[in-house]
């Protein structure tokens, strides 16, 4: 790993932090307030998945937390089979109990790091990944994960990301970091803003929208789309072609 990436939190540290944070991720109405436009991006990604895959039978929620994205998806397509992956067992247990009440489909929980977890091939109509992929460190890790998601989707299936992003221009990073700082100060004051910036510095290695859309194309997604962007947060995704060349 590069020296900067070595200083970042380990998987065990990330898991320990989220183990303590189940309540904060269990609010369906507000989503996570540190994420700008969290309720809107949850609505847009699941609405996009519904419009492309209205007859979906099976979804995969990566970094499911307490299950908010899957619950929102079930509000649009009932009785899906739901596979929920997370590092944190307390998150998964909360997600299983919340999701299990809302679907007559199968609910499977998988505890693990998405980088190491093997996925079945051509099983899912929809894959959702919200506020999780920014924990991937190396470009090669991002490629490994995008490739396995592509293979895990059925032909015609779709993959939707809502996440913290960076910009390819340093000047734009500065601009949008300032705007995000102002948003956090308004939400919780200067100490809260500093706390959030400190854990982003310690824990996160986000990539730009361009990087992720280009990677989607490289692994085989044909159509990609940006659904929303506000400062350092965006929602976007890709569709797996129905027939492969
Ligand atoms: C910020 S929370 C988001 C939860 C949920 N997606 C939401 O938007 O409400 C991120 C979740 O991803 C999980 N996570 C972090 N890194 C992960 C990894 N490498 N593999 C699987 N899950 C991971 C954390 O344990 C946490 O529950």
- Both tokens of 161, joined, read 């990301």
Span from the CA of 133 to the centroid of ligand 1 (angstroms): 8
Ligand 1 environment, Cβ below 6 A? 14-15, 18, 25, 32, 63-65, 68-69, 85-88, 91, 113-115, 130-132, 135
Give me the number of domains the chain comprises: 1
List b or e across 39-63, with b for residues whose CB sees 16 or more CB atoms inside 10 angstroms. Answer: bbbbbbbbebbbebbeebebbbbbb
Q: Give the CA angle between residues 45, 141, 18 to the nearest 5°.
A: 60
Cα–Cα distance, 141 to 152 (Å, whole number): 17
Asked if the structure places residue 127 within a domain, the reply is: yes
Asked if the structure places residue 161 within a domain, the reply is: yes
Asked if the structure places residue 244 within a domain, the reply is: no
**Closest to 159 measured CA to CA, from 81, 51, 32, 45:** 45
Which of 132, 149, 164 gets mutated to test ligand 1 (max ligand atoms within 8 A of its CB)?
A: 132
Residue 244: its pLDDT value, please? 67
Asked if the structure places residue 195 within a domain, the reply is: yes
Asked if the structure places residue 176 within a domain, the reply is: yes
Residue 30: its pLDDT value, please? 62
Span from the CA of 72 to the centroid of ligand 1 (angstroms): 16
Asked if the structure places residue 245 within a domain, the reply is: no
Span from the CA of 63 to the centroid of ligand 1 (angstroms): 3
Asked if 85 contacts 114 with a C-beta cutoff of 8 angstroms, the reply is yes
Closest atom of ligand 1 relative to the 21 alpha carbon: 27
Report the CATH number that the domain containing residue 85 is assigned in CATH.
Answer: 3.40.50.150
Residue 120 is part of which domain span? 3-239
Asked if 58 contacts 124 with a C-beta cutoff of 8 angstroms, the reply is yes
User: For atom 14 of ligand 1, which residue has the closest CA?
Assistant: 63
Phi, psi for 234 (deg, rounded to 5): -150, 160
Asked if the structure places residue 113 within a domain, the reply is: yes
Residue 74: its pLDDT value, please? 98
Report how far apart, in Å, the C-alpha atoms of 186 and of each of 37, 178, 183, 194, 233 are: 14, 12, 5, 12, 17
Which of 63, 91, 138 gets mutated to test ligand 1 (max ligand atoms within 8 A of its CB)?
A: 63
Span from the CA of 157 to the centroid of ligand 1 (angstroms): 22
Per-residue pLDDT of the chain (245 residues; tens, 9 = 90+): 555 666 898 999 999 989 998 988 898 776 678 999 999 999 999 999 999 999 999 999 999 999 999 999 999 999 999 999 999 999 999 999 999 999 999 999 999 999 999 999 999 999 999 999 999 999 999 999 999 999 999 999 999 999 999 999 999 999 999 999 999 999 999 999 999 999 999 999 999 999 999 999 999 999 999 999 999 999 999 999 998 66
């Amino acid at each position: 790993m590069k020296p900067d990436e070595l200083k970042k939190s380990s998987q065990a540290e990330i898991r320990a932090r989220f183990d303590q944070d189940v309540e904060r991720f269990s609010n369906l109405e507000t989503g996570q307030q540190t994420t700008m436009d969290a309720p809107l991006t949850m609505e847009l990604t699941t609405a996009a998945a519904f419009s492309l895959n209205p007859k979906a039978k099976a979804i995969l929620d990566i970094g499911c937390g307490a299950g908010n994205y899957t619950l929102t998806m079930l509000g649009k397509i009932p009785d899906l089979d739901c596979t929920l992956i997370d590092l944190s067992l307390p998150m998964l247990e909360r997600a299983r109990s919340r999701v299990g009440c809302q679907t007559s489909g199968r609910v499977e929980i998988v505890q693990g790091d998405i980088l190491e977890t093997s996925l079945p091939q051509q099983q899912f109509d929809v894959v959702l990944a919200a506020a999780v992929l920014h924990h991937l460190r190396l470009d090669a890790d991002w490629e490994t994960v995008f490739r396995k998601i592509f293979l895990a989707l059925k032909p015609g299936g779709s993959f939707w990301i809502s996440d913290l992003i960076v910009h390819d221009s340093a000047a734009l990073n500065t601009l949008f970091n300032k705007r995000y700082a102002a948003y956090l100060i308004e939400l919780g004051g200067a100490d809260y803003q500093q706390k959030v910036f400190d854990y982003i510095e310690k824990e996160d290695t986000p990539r730009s929208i361009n990087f992720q859309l280009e990677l989607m194309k490289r692994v085989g997604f044909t159509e990609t789309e940006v659904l929303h962007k506000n400062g350092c947060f965006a929602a976007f995704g890709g569709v797996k072609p129905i027939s492969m060349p």
